[in-house]
């Protein structure tokens, strides 16, 4: 039985193949392209039981390519692999590939789910929208900062189209200032138009997806939260229980237990930070802005009185993640509950 390990970098991949006893049978460096990797593994001449690699940016591309070639690919959690490799004396691609091969042979790893191509397409759309939004905000802040030097203070909150008008009205009487700021204002207009187009595409994708439409039946859950959650989970069957979804997105407390000490800490912040942020925003909207009653909102409001606003929002965000997963698995709609039992 043979195990192949890949230490992947942008340009090359260090390949190490070991046998069942842990003896190195092949070591080679090849370009990080699927055809080159398949050729290297096939030239070994013996059937390979498993191919292992760390989770990373090239994981999806290499994993699907190697699976199509007939190999069983194991994607390992990067933090766990890094902790194991930290005990090695030398840090090189060759040594890392050897270490990954031994981890694969021993079975001491956590398998990472490789998301589907559809999920990656949705994530790409959401990421592009977020990048454009950040760039617009950065330019707005730069313009505000430059205007402050001249004693101009724009209102803190301006509607989407009012910012451009407010700045132009302010600087039109100062030719020198207009000469400096108008190019930045034009760049912000272009970025804002791109952001609006991406925002339209994201919302359209959410409304055209049956699962996302069902998610948006939960008070506080909008298009961004629904699409982000669907893209991040990808396959609901990979969670044995809906209760574990909250922990997957870092919404459960850390725990440190040793001897007589047992100290629960703050939430772990593990997993996808963007999804965690959207779930938090959905919970905040449910508790603070939504007027629709539900047993989940009533529970959160009671919790807010005893635990405080932030803890209540985190708890409701965790509940929303559990509810969305259960709705997906069962194919059901959100139930508001009964006021008599709330």
pLDDT, tens digit, 9 for 90 and up, residues 158-169? 877 788 889 998
Torsion of CA 256, 313, 160, 121, to 10 degrees: 60
What does the pLDDT read at residue 234?
A: 95
Q: Domain ends where: 178, 208, 238?
A: 208
Q: Can you give the CATH number for the domain in which 49 is found?
A: 3.30.420.40
Q: What's the domain range around 81?
A: 2-106
Higher pLDDT: 75 or 338? It is 75
Quote the number of domains for the chain.
3
User: By C-alpha distance, which of 264, 263, 279 is closest to 315?
Assistant: 279
DSSP 238: G
Q: Helix 309-330 and helix 223-233: axis angle, to 10°?
A: 60
Q: Domain ends where: 87, 106, 125?
A: 106
Look at residue 269 and give its three-state secondary structure: coil
Please state the rounded mean pLDDT for residues 96-108: 94
Residues 133 and 218 in one domain: no
Residues 185 and 294 in one domain: no
pTM, rounded to two decimals: 0.88
Residues 201 and 243 in one domain: no
User: By C-alpha distance, which of 16, 45, 17, 14 is closest to 32?
Assistant: 14
Dig out the tokens for 240 from the structure.
């044995």
Q: How far apart are CA 311 and CA 267, in angstroms?
A: 10
Dig out the tokens for 325 from the structure.
């997963």
Decide if pLDDT at 81 tops 90.
Answer: yes
Asked if residue 276 lies in contact with residue 249, where contact means CB atoms within 8 angstroms, the answer is: yes
Q: How far apart are CA 135 and CA 281, in angstroms?
A: 21
Asked if residue 282 lies in contact with residue 219, where contact means CB atoms within 8 angstroms, the answer is: no
pLDDT tens figures, 49-72: 999 999 999 999 999 999 999 999
Asked if residue 316 lies in contact with residue 281, where contact means CB atoms within 8 angstroms, the answer is: no
User: By C-alpha distance, which of 67, 76, 71, 74 is closest to 48?
Assistant: 71
Q: Per the domain annotation, does 92 fall within a domain?
A: yes
Please state the rounded mean pLDDT for residues 70-98: 92
Q: Categorize the per-residue pLDDT at 156 as very low, low, confident or very high, splitting at 50, 70 and 90.
A: confident
Higher pLDDT: 339 or 131? It is 131
**By mean pLDDT, which of 201-205, 242-246, 268-272, 302-306 is the weakest?**
268-272
Residues 311 and 233 in one domain: yes
Mean pLDDT, the chain, whole residue set: 92
Q: Per the domain annotation, does 272 fall within a domain?
A: yes
DSSP 290: -
What secondary structure does DSSP assign to 144-164, as a single string?
HHHHHHTT----S---TTHHH
Residues 199 and 240 in one domain: no
Decide if pLDDT at 87 tops 60.
Answer: yes
Q: Where are the alpha helices (DSSP H) in the chain?
A: 34-43, 59-68, 78-85, 93-106, 117-149, 162-171, 175-208, 210-215, 223-233, 244-248, 273-288, 295-307, 309-330
Q: How far apart are CA 245 and CA 255, in angstroms?
A: 17
What does the pLDDT read at residue 52?
A: 96
What does the pLDDT read at residue 268?
A: 83
Q: Per the domain annotation, does 252 fall within a domain?
A: yes
Residues 138 and 44 in one domain: no
Asked if residue 55 lies in contact with residue 77, where contact means CB atoms within 8 angstroms, the answer is: yes
Q: Per the domain annotation, does 130 fall within a domain?
A: yes
Residues 317 and 221 in one domain: yes
Q: How far apart are CA 221 and CA 324, in angstroms?
A: 10
Residues 230 and 151 in one domain: no
Q: Per the domain annotation, does 111 fall within a domain?
A: no
pLDDT tens figures, 212-253: 999 999 999 999 999 999 999 999 999 999 999 999 999 988
Phi, psi of 27 (to 5 degrees): -135, 130
Q: What is the CA radius of gyration of the chain?
A: 26
Look at residue 237 and give its three-state secondary structure: helix
% of residues, the chain, pLDDT over 90: 80
Location of structure tokens 């994708």: 205
What does the pLDDT read at residue 256?
A: 65
- What does each C-alpha distance from 280 to 139, 168, 221, 235 come to in angstroms? 26, 36, 10, 22
Please state the rounded mean pLDDT for residues 12-41: 95
Asked if residue 41 lies in contact with residue 56, where contact means CB atoms within 8 angstroms, the answer is: no
Q: Domain ends where: 144, 176, 208?
A: 208
Residues 27 and 100 in one domain: yes
Asked if residue 333 lies in contact with residue 217, where contact means CB atoms within 8 angstroms, the answer is: yes
Decide if pLDDT at 290 tops 60.
Answer: yes
pLDDT tens figures, 105-155: 999 899 999 999 999 999 999 999 999 999 999 999 999 999 999 988 888
Look at residue 285 and give its three-state secondary structure: helix
Q: Per the domain annotation, does 52 fall within a domain?
A: yes
Decide if pLDDT at 342 tops 60.
Answer: no
Q: Per the domain annotation, does 9 fall within a domain?
A: yes
Name 9's Cβ contacts closer than 8 Å, sequence gap at least 6. Answer: 32, 93
């Amino acid at each position: 039985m043979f195990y192949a390990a890949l230490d992947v970098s942008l340009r090359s991949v260090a390949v190490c193949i070991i046998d069942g006893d842990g003896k190195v049978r092949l070591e080679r460096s090849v370009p990080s392209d699927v055809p080159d990797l398949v050729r290297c593994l096939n030239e070994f001449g013996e059937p390979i039981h498993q191919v292992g690699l760390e989770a990373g940016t090239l994981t999806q591309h290499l994993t699907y390519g190697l699976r199509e070639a007939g190999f069983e690919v194991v994607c390992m959690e990067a933090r766990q692999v890094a902790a194991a490799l930290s005990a090695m004396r030398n840090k090189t691609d060759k040594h890392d590939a050897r270490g990954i091969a031994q981890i694969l042979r021993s079975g001491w790893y956590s398998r990472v789910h490789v998301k589907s191509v559809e999920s990656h397409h949705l994530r790409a759309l959401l990421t592009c929208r977020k990048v454009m939004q950040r760039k617009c905000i950065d330019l707005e802040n730069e313009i505000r900062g430059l205007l402050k030097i001249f004693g101009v203070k724009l209102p803190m909150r301006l509607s989407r189209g009012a910012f451009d008008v407010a700045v132009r009205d302010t600087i039109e009487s100062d030719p020198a200032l207009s000469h400096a700021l108008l190019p930045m204002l034009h760049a912000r207009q272009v970025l804002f138009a791109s952001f609006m187009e991406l925002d339209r595409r994201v919302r359209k994708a959410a409304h055209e997806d049956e699962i996302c439409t069902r998610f948006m039946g939960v008070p506080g859950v909008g298009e961004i939260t629904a699409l982000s959650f669907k893209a991040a989970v990808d396959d609901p069957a990979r969670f044995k229980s809906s209760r574990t979804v909250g922990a997957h997105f870092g919404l459960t407390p850390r725990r440190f237990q040793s001897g007589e000490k047992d100290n629960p800490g703050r939430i772990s912040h593990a997993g996808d930070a963007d999804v965690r942020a959207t779930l938090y925003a959905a919970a905040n909207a449910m508790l603070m802005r939504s007027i629709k009653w539900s047993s989940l909102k009533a529970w959160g409001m009671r919790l807010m009185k005893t635990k405080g606003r932030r803890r209540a929002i985190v708890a409701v965000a965790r509940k929303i993640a559990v509810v969305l997963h259960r709705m997906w698995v069962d194919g059901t709609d959100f139930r508001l509950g009964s006021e008599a039992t709330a």
